[in-house]
């Protein structure tokens, strides 16, 4: 099958969050399954340059948005079996950040329109366009409304994956023609209208052939009023075409046996020794006491990540015999508050604001636990990486966290270590007391029941969060519509 992934970011070129990991690892799996896979991305100023990989300019065309005629160049490279296409326009993408600008609606409308043109320029016919999140959500609507008679687009099927339901891609109805050359009746009929605005995400839900999200539990949540972030009505109308498929992780890149970023490699057999050596080095470097349990946070710092719970968890743990290592960046206010916590108790709290892959790997390898009390979590990646490095996740049981962590509970308390099948800790409600209680439970187990703790660490490392099965489920989904 000829598959085109349309996304606003992908490793190894651009990344702000888990979306970038998913696009790249899933595409690599599709290649293994003998598909022809392309990824189309914006050519951002900040795109990473990969040694030995050259980008060639292969197409030039104009993109028309109402009165604007926008000159566009498309660059290409072939990397690890994948055709990468980059849409270049200086006005829209020569900026310091990927997102967060007043004209993001216009920028990604431009990107979407350019992808429509790219599809018609390719030397082969695309079978599936797989859209990711709101940035490209209007694409099937544009093609079905404006180009339904064009041979080149006939037979293409569309799959939309919702990675983050919070972002709807809103803009005002007055811009519908201005950005997408689309008639206002689409809005008036309600097909692309949400909260009295145009929503590109809703348009993706209405016009795609299949809709997915990134874990089975999150799919269930999205169909409820409470858990849907306002999408339950539209998703329920498409219930029969909507499914949750669990993300995997890249087990080659995240492997404590071979990881070149960490202080000391280790495997299941020597895990406690190996982790202890990593922790000792890490703590020496950042002035923490290596005898205490180390709790990691590796996260985007946004309200989705359960910040109201994280502050008290960090305070509680750092004053009751634990150390904290946080790596993350995001909302300025949240960054400042964590920096402040770190200054007040710098003997127990290490804060690194920013994104640093190497340091993140060191933290996964050195830590005993990972904190992830998200308010919602479509899938989540840090908890799976932590498990692979033998760091036990402490999570709120929501979305993908519920699907990937087997949480230690009361019925386990009396069990012998050998009978324990759990690999993390969790709590149900978004409540500070439940979060603190769960931290206390984890700390007690670490200090009092090393046998159980060790068994859980081994269970976690043995988990196999690979992409194999999920990639096959996606392909089966594509095949079900590509007839």
Q: Which is nearer to ligand GLC, 105 or 400 (CB)?
A: 400
Whether the CA torsion 388, 382, 319, 284 is positive or negative: it is positive
Stretch touching ligand GLC by CB under 6 A, among 120-128, 377-385, 418-426, 447-455 = 377-385
Q: Which is nearer to ligand GLC, 318 or 470 (CB)?
A: 470
Is 18 a binder of ligand GLC (CB under 6 A)? yes
**Least spacing, CB of residue 386 vs ligand GLC, in Å:** 14
Q: Could you give the maximum distance between any two Cα atoms of the chain, in Å?
A: 72
Q: Which among 194, 214, 216 has a CA at the least distance from the CA of 205?
A: 194
CB-CB neighbours of 270 under 10 Å: 13
User: Considering CB under 6 A, how many residues would be counted as binding ligand GLC?
Assistant: 14
Q: Which of 377, 383, 402, 456 binds ligand GLC (CB under 6 A)?
A: 377
Instruction: Give the whole-angstrom CA distance, residue 13 versus residue 33.
Output: 23
C-alpha dihedral, 329 to 306 to 160 to 204, nearest 10°: -100
Q: Which is nearer to ligand GLC, 47 or 404 (CB)?
A: 404
Stretch touching ligand GLC by CB under 6 A, among 15-23, 101-109, 143-151, 317-325 = 15-23
Is 379 a binder of ligand GLC (CB under 6 A)? yes
Q: Which is nearer to ligand GLC, 165 or 342 (CB)?
A: 165
Q: Which of 330, 378, 390, 424 binds ligand GLC (CB under 6 A)?
A: 378
Return the axis-axis angle of helices 432-448 and 450-462, rounded to nearest 10°: 110
Q: Which is nearer to ligand GLC, 253 or 286 (CB)?
A: 253
Q: Which is nearer to ligand GLC, 380 or 393 (CB)?
A: 380
Q: Looking only at residues 220 through 279 of this chain, which bind ligand GLC when binding is defined by CB under 6 A?
A: 247
**Least spacing, CB of residue 5 vs ligand GLC, in Å:** 13
DSSP character at residue 267: -
**Least spacing, CB of residue 401 vs ligand GLC, in Å:** 9
Phi, psi of 394 (to 5 degrees): -115, 110
Residue 184 CB-density burial (10 A; 0-12 exposed, 13-18 middle, 19+ buried) = exposed
Instruction: Give the whole-angstrom CA distance, residue 30 versus residue 3.
Output: 9
Q: Which of 26, 63, 317, 381 binds ligand GLC (CB under 6 A)?
A: 381
Q: Which neighbouring-strand residues pair with 304? A: none
Stretch touching ligand GLC by CB under 6 A, among 34-42, 379-387, 407-415, 458-466 = 379-387
Instruction: Give the whole-angstrom CA distance, residue 215 versus residue 233.
Output: 19
Instruction: Give the whole-angstrom CA distance, residue 243 versus residue 208.
Output: 13
Could you give the string, one character per residue 147-176, with x where binding to ligand GLC holds by CB under 6 A and - elsewhere? ----------------xx------------
Q: Which is nearer to ligand GLC, 107 or 163 (CB)?
A: 163
Q: Which two tokens stand for residue 172?
A: 């005002």
Do 350 and 314 meet the contact criterion of CB atoms below 8 Å apart? no
Residues lying near ligand GLC in the complex (CB under 6 A) are found at 17-19, 22, 163-164, 214, 247, 377-381, 400
């Amino acid at each position: 099958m000829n598959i085109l992934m349309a996304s606003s970011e992908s490793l190894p070129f651009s990344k702000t969050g888990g979306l970038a990991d998913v696009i790249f690892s899933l595409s690599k799996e599709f290649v293994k399954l003998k598909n022809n896979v392309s990824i189309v991305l914006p050519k951002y100023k900040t795109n990473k340059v990969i040694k030995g990989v050259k980008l060639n300019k292969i197409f030039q065309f104009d993109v028309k948005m109402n009165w604007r005629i926008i000159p566009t160049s498309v660059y290409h490279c072939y990397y690890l079996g994948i055709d990468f296409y980059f849409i270049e326009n200086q006005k829209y993408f020569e900026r310091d950040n990927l997102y967060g600008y007043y004209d993001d609606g216009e920028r990604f409308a431009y990107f979407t329109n350019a992808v429509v043109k790219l599809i018609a320029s390719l030397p082969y016919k695309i079978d599936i366009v797989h859209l990711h999140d709101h940035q490209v959500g209007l694409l099937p609507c544009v093609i079905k409304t404006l180009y339904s008679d064009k041979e080149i687009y006939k037979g293409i099927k569309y799959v939309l994956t919702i990675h983050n339901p919070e972002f709807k891609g809103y803009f005002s109805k007055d811009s519908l023609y201005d950005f997408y050359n689309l008639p206002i009746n689409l809005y008036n009929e309600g097909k692309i209208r949400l909260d009295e605005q145009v929503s590109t995400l809703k348009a993706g839900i209405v016009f795609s052939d299949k809709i997915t999200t990134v874990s089975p539990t999150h799919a269930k949540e999205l169909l409820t009023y409470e858990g849907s972030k306002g999408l339950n009505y539209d998703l329920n109308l498409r219930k029969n075409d909507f499914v949750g498929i669990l993300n995997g992780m890249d087990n080659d890149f995240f492997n404590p046996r071979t990881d070149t970023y960490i202080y000391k490699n280790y495997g299941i057999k020597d895990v406690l020794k190996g982790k202890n050596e990593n922790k000792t080095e890490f703590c020496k470097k950042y002035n923490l006491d290596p005898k205490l349990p180390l709790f990691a946070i590796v996260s985007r710092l946004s309200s989705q990540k359960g910040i109201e719970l994280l502050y008290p968890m960090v305070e509680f743990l750092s004053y009751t015999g634990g150390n904290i290592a946080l790596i993350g960046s995001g909302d300025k206010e949240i960054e400042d508050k964590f920096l402040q916590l770190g200054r007040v108790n710098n003997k127990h709290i290490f804060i690194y604001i920013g994104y640093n892959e190497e340091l993140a790997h060191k933290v996964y390898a050195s830590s005993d636990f990972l904190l992830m009390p998200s308010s919602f979590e479509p899938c989540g990646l840090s908890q799976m990486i932590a498990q692979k490095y033998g760091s036990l996740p402490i999570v709120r049981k929501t979305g993908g966290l519920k699907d990937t962590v087997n949480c230690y509970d009361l019925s386990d308390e009396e069990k012998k270590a050998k009978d324990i099948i759990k690999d993390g800790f969790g709590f149900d409600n978004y409540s500070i007391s439940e979060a603190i209680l769960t931290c206390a439970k984890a700390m007690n187990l670490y200090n009092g029941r090393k046998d159980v703790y060790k068994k859980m660490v081994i269970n976690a490392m043995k988990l196999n969060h690979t992409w194999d099965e999920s990639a096959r489920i996606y392909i089966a989904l594509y095949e079900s519509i590509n007839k």
